[in-house]
Amino acid sequence: MSLFSFLFPSPVPKEHRKLLSAVKSMTGVTPKDPWVYLNAFRRKGNSKSQHQANLSYERLEYLGDAVLGVLLAEYLFDKYPKGDEGYLTSMRSKVVSRKALNRIAEKMGISKWMSNSRRGGRGGHTSVPGNTLEALVGAVYADRGWKATRTFVFKHMIEKHVNINSVEREIVSYKSLLIEWVQKNKKRFDFVLQDEEGSQHRKRFVFKLLIDD
């Protein structure tokens, strides 16, 4: 019996075996049900059974998003014992922003294992790497439970690929920063639409900020 057969006793096509080995390297987790992880890197319509259909890419992404949010809340709560609710919420939002998750996914090498149709690119979905990372978190949770997922997220994701000090200095929303400033200084403000351009599905709006007008 080969080492791969010992680790993954379920029948898995040869073309997927390198991916599963990469998953083990990325997460530090040995999969019990390989198909759950394959679903995390694939789209709907590819599941081989009803059980696997219940763990589709979309459902795993949904699950991973929720689990990741809770684990990040715990991680930040313990790391910043003096941080208030606003600070912790802001930090969590920065780490799970689409841009940040895409960056983490790239560092982990997730894009390498995504099919060509899911890599985004010109006219594609640039959020796909981050979405796939969420699906991978969901897969680990569905397959191995809370403890294994916690270890994956803390040790193999945050501590390895996230510079918390840099994240702390990042500005995610300049609009929110402006609103916070004018409210803190008790000023009146308003956003006035100046222009809009682009197609129906990719609109770009230009606003002017009026303060004490």
Known catalytic residues are 65, 134
Q: Taking a C-beta distance cutoff of 8 angstroms, is the pair 92, 8 a contact?
A: no
Q: At what angle do helices 128-151 and 17-27 cross, to 10 degrees?
A: 60
Residue with tokens 């004490």, as numbered in its chain: 212
Residue with tokens 């809009």, as numbered in its chain: 196
- Residues with Cβ within 8 Å of 125's Cβ and at least 6 positions away in sequence, in order, are 118, 131
> What element of type H or E holds 66?
helix 57-79
What gap in Å lies between CA 140 and CA 88, rounded to an integer? 25
Residue with tokens 């809370």, as numbered in its chain: 146
- Residues with Cβ within 8 Å of 211's Cβ and at least 6 positions away in sequence, in order, are 182, 187, 188, 189
